[in-house]
Amino acid sequence: MSVSVLRLTARIGTSLALWTPSLHSRPRRGMSARGHPLAALCQLSVGADKQANLSAARGLLEEAKRRGALMAFLPEAFDYVGSSREETLALSETLAGDTLTHYAGLARTLDLWLSLGGFHERGPDWETERRVYNTHVVVNNQGQIVSTYRKCHLFDVEIPQKGVSLKESAFALPGPSMVEPVQTPVGKLGLGVCYDVRFPEFSLALQKSGAEILTFPSAFTPATGAAHWEPLLRARAIENQCYVLAAAQVGRHYPGRSSYGHALAVDPWGVVTADCGGECAGLALVEVDLEKMRHVRRGMPLAQHRRDADFYSGLERPVGQD
């Protein structure tokens, strides 16, 4: 996989190779010079102004299309980050609301598939319960919603010594179930959101259901991001022999709330092939080589070597212990 990284300042990341078409061949639309599909991994820095957030995302999506991507990935809370529970709830919408209507129009206009990584969707008993789902929405290039996954694992974490204090369940409902991987132009996509990455059984279930790419759009805190973000994403890629694409929020959203950034792409061998950095919004264009994934799986056939579920749940107690 080769990459290029674009900052909103139009600087190209010097630590990563710039993707350029072959001088000897003209790539097919949406493909690299080597014939592999291209995905755009986006990094945003949003606040509570939904129109400003949409404008920033639109700029990245237009650039992604100009650079040949078939699909673009936006982070968790791409629509907004509220400064309080009340603001978060007040700004929420249904799937039929203005925000997703705008993004569906962009998908059609740009002829681009979208992974919308975490939408504040009003819950089923909105008038009485007033809580939302954190919903990952996949929209095809015709503007149709083809998959929705509602985040199952909510981030209720208190680590005072690290300055981490968030309770997602104060305003969000846990999703009722996982969803089957969805076929996209860049590969079969297994949907997660942020905190889901910490549960290896979640990723394994998606991989067993056919996922070739795992995606964890996120808004990691600076403290947990610095400690765990890259190791978690690389582990999920290595143990499942999948690509991992993780769009991210970056920077300060409001006083007391910031995100780590470093939107990452990881290949099935566990190599980080794109990193958008921890400073500003931007995108990385990544090449998804599914034959490379198959090569990794053939060389180290983990699926064949894995024992059945009963084996792992049947730990024997040491002799002499009740």
Catalytic sites, residue numbers: 76, 151, 194
Which tokens hold the place of 83?
């400064």
The token pair at 180 is: 């089957």
Provide the 8-state DSSP code for 251: E
Burial of 143 (0-12, 13-18, 19+ CB in 10 A): middle
The confidence score (pLDDT) of residue 30 equals: 74
Rg (CA), the chain: 20
Q: Residue 214: beta bridge partners? A: 190, 244
Full-prediction pTM beyond 0.85?
Answer: yes
| ∠ CA 200-120-113, rounded to 5° | 75
Angle at 176 between CA 231 and CA 108, to 5 degrees: 75
Assess contact for 152 and 173: CB atoms under 8 A: no
Residues 6+ apart with CB under 8 A from 140: 107, 113, 146
State the residue for tokens 């790539």: 27
pLDDT given for residue 6 in this prediction: 58
Q: Which domains does the chain have, with CATH numbers?
A: 3-17+33-303 (3.60.110.10)
- Given a contact cutoff of 8 angstroms between Cβ atoms, the answer to whether 48 and 254 are in contact is yes
**Tens of each residue's pLDDT in the chain, 322 residues:** 444 555 443 222 222 322 323 323 345 667 776 789 999 999 999 999 999 999 999 999 999 999 999 999 999 999 999 999 999 999 999 999 999 999 999 999 999 999 999 999 999 999 999 999 999 999 999 999 999 999 999 998 888 888 888 889 999 999 999 999 999 999 999 999 999 999 999 999 999 999 999 999 999 999 999 999 999 999 999 999 999 999 999 999 999 899 999 999 999 999 999 999 999 999 999 999 999 999 999 999 999 999 998 898 888 766 666 5
pLDDT for 19 equals 31
Residue 42 three-state SS: strand
Kindly report the CA angle at 270 between 265 and 273, in degrees rounded to 5? 35
Give me 195's structure tokens: 């905190």
